[in-house]
């Protein structure tokens, strides 16, 4: 198994742990944390690819920088929403966000 594959397998495992967390936890902030976990996994995969590629050297890192910024922005917004929701409903359970119920 080449090193590249090992890094990728690590990334996959991290990603799906985060995915499970998103689907399974009931607290909004928990969900946001797991989303950050997924971002990290992606970043790992990107850097691994960029490191072992013949033509794309360096581009992976650039992409990762952009993702850093975007992930940070998204975390900020998400947490602001969480705080607003806490003010409104006095709890952070995702199940209470069911206004779209059919």
Give the span between the Cα atoms of 69 and 61, in whole angstroms: 13
Interface size with other proteins, residues (CB under 8 A):
81
Residue numbers 2-31 binding other proteins by CB under 8 A:
2-10, 12-27, 29-31
Please give the full DSSP string across 74-98, using - where no structure is assigned.
Answer: HHHHHHHHHHHHHHHHSS-BGGG--
For residue 38, the surrounding DSSP H or E stretch is helix 28-52
What CA–CA distances, in Å, run from 64 to 11, 28, 44, 53, 70? 14, 25, 9, 15, 10
Site membership for other proteins, residue 89 (CB under 8 A): no
Closest distance to other proteins from the beta carbon of 46 (Å): 9
- The residues in 28-67 that bind other proteins, with binding defined as CB under 8 A, are 29-34, 36-37, 40, 43-44, 47-48, 50-54, 57-59, 61-62, 64-66
């Amino acid at each position: 198994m080449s090193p590249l594959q090992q890094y990728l397998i690590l990334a996959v495992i991290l990603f799906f742990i985060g995915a499970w967390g998103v689907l399974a936890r009931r607290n909004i902030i928990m969900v946001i944390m797991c989303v950050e976990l997924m971002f990290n996994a992606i970043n790992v995969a990107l850097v691994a690819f960029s490191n072992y590629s013949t033509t794309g050297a360096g581009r992976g890192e650039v992409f990762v920088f952009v993702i850093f910024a975007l992930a940070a922005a998204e975390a900020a917004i998400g947490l602001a929403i969480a705080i607003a929701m806490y003010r409104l409903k006095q709890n952070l359970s995702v199940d209470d966000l069911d206004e779209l119920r059919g």
